[in-house]
Structure 1
Amino acid sequence: MSHSHSHDHHDHSHAPTVSGDNERKVLLSFFLIFTFMIVEVIGGLISGSLALLADAGHMLTDAAALALAYAAFRFGRRAPDSRRTFGYLRFEVIAGFINAITLFAIVAWIIYEAWQRFQEPHAVLAGPMFGVAVAGLLINVLVFWILTRGDSEHVNIRGAALHVLGDLLGSVGAVMAAIVIYYTGWTPIDPILSVVVSLLILRSAWKLLVKSLHILLEGAPGDATPEKIAYHLRNKVPGVADVSHVHVWSITSGRMLATLHVRPAADADIQEVVRAVERELQSQFRIEHATIAPQWDDEPPSCSLSRTPHRAHTHNHGPQEYAR
């Protein structure tokens, strides 16, 4: 039984390079948002404004997005070891899952408090509420400016910027609610706004929960399902007679891996077929690490996940991250 290995030592990541500037930008933004979130909680308690507390909850989603982006930068660089052969790349996903569960609890509390306030209206101090809301708006504008300066193409930075942009709407709403309460004394606007902001938090939390749970369950990425990969390789790669037993999953957001069996045509050069399949997986599906097992007509079909690929296999990975 012969084994052939093909290694490509280029980095095939399609994400922009993580720079020190990106890390500093994200870290500074995190400290600004997290610090003001605490100020907003204090301001909400002093003024009696549930809308400010809800906006602080929304700021927590921003802080979490920035913390996850920073964690992805830092942990993504850690080299694998004998116990963690893919390093710490999945740390970001686990943190995201825990964050999503926490946000659901925050939303439940805000909605409960809003209902209580509809039953028994609370006094709201419009002055302190207005001051804190305006300051929150300015902080969000500053953080959005920081994140969108220079290289803003990285997926984590773009995601964090969108979070902050959403929080801008919450801050604008809190400013308007404070103005309404100051001039009309109509306090129900405060719990109404808190529910609106809670729905924004709920949307972010749901998307984060679904995405992180899908990755933790080894779900196939939407744009690289086994069916799409098999169909594409059968029709686009010369020398491929059939593709079977395709398994594709993500280690973390944007980092995909795959294993598959390829049956070469009778007159095909197996090494050329394997290399062509590798290139196609990289260029069309952004799969950075592939294990390809050639399979011949006289071999019985097998789909055991624990079985070692036979005859020949090939690994394709970027530097360090995917040492196995």
Structure 2
Amino acid sequence: MHSYTLEKLQHSHSFSSSNERGERRTRYVLLLTAVTMVVEIVAGSLYGSMALLADGWHMGTHVAAFMIAIFAYQYASKHAENPEYSFGTGKVSVLGGFASAVTLTVVALVMLLESVQRIIDPHPIQFNEAIAVASLGLFINVVSALLLKDDDHHHHH
């Protein structure tokens, strides 16, 4: 009988306290994005703006993606040294990315159907109010990008 070992093929990632800053920033961005999502969806409905509705639901997919990423990261870090995961826990993040893509596709299809309905039966839009909320959304996107920017990440495999 042959005995094989997979030790030389095992792969692990470093999940250390140095990642805490990134985790904290990701949670801030998640909160900012969730609040902005609600504001844009409500404002889009009130002001008749399909663009705000679409951006609000799009931000909703970002919230879902963040939550999936946080779950995948926590799961992967919990099982990083588990020998049952002989090739690492990278598949968890791949499945998370797939789930995010499926969610984004569903939202895009719903927005497409709603947009076609708006072309057939247009609604009045309160542009001034919609522009103010859209500007807030843009500002939040810029702040989020700056928070997630990695100034000193040096990852070596």
Q: Secondary structure at the match of 1:77?
A: helix
Structure 2 CA distance for aligned equivalents of residues 97 and 64 of structure 1 = 12
1:111 Cα deviation (Å)?
A: 1.1
1:153 to 1:111, Cα distance in 2 relative to 1, 3 A: farther
Q: Taking CA–CA contacts closer than 8 Å with sequence separation of 6 or more, which of the two structures ends up with the larger relative contact order?
A: 2
Q: Which residue of 2 aligns with 1:124?
A: 125
Q: Which residue of 1 aligns with 2:70?
A: 70
1:171-320 to 2 correspondence within 5 Å?
Answer: none
1:2 Cα deviation (Å)?
A: 6.7
Q: Which residue of 2 aligns with 1:321?
A: none
Q: Which residue of 2 aligns with 1:169?
A: none
1:67 Cα deviation (Å)?
A: 2.4
Q: Which residue of 2 aligns with 1:143?
A: 144
1:74 Cα deviation (Å)?
A: 1.2
Q: Which residue of 2 aligns with 1:50?
A: 50
Contact 1:43 1:129 in 2 (8 A): yes
Structure 2 CA distance for aligned equivalents of residues 145 and 50 of structure 1 = 27
Q: CA deviation digits over 1:72-123, x for unaligned, max 9?
A: 32111113799x9339944444444333333222212211121122122210
Q: Which residue of 2 aligns with 1:85?
A: 84
1:16 to 1:150, Cα distance in 2 relative to 1, 3 A: farther
Aligned residues: 153
Q: Which residue of 2 aligns with 1:171?
A: none
Higher strand share: 1
Q: Superposition RMSD on alpha carbons, in Å?
A: 3.6
* Ranges in structure 2 where 5+ consecutive residues have no aligned partner: none
Contact 1:71 1:92 in 2 (8 A): no
- Tell me the percent identity: 28
Structure 2 CA distance for aligned equivalents of residues 50 and 141 of structure 1 = 22
Q: Which residue of 2 aligns with 1:312?
A: none
Structure 1 CA distance for aligned equivalents of residues 126 and 20 of structure 2 = 43
Letter in 2 for 1:142: V
Answer with 103-112 or 88-97: which moved more.
Answer: 88-97
1:123 to 1:152, Cα distance in 2 relative to 1, 3 A: farther
Contact 1:26 1:147 in 2 (8 A): yes
Higher helix share: 2
TM-score of the pair, normalised by structure 2: 0.76
TM-score of the pair, normalised by structure 1: 0.40
Letter in 1 for 2:100: N
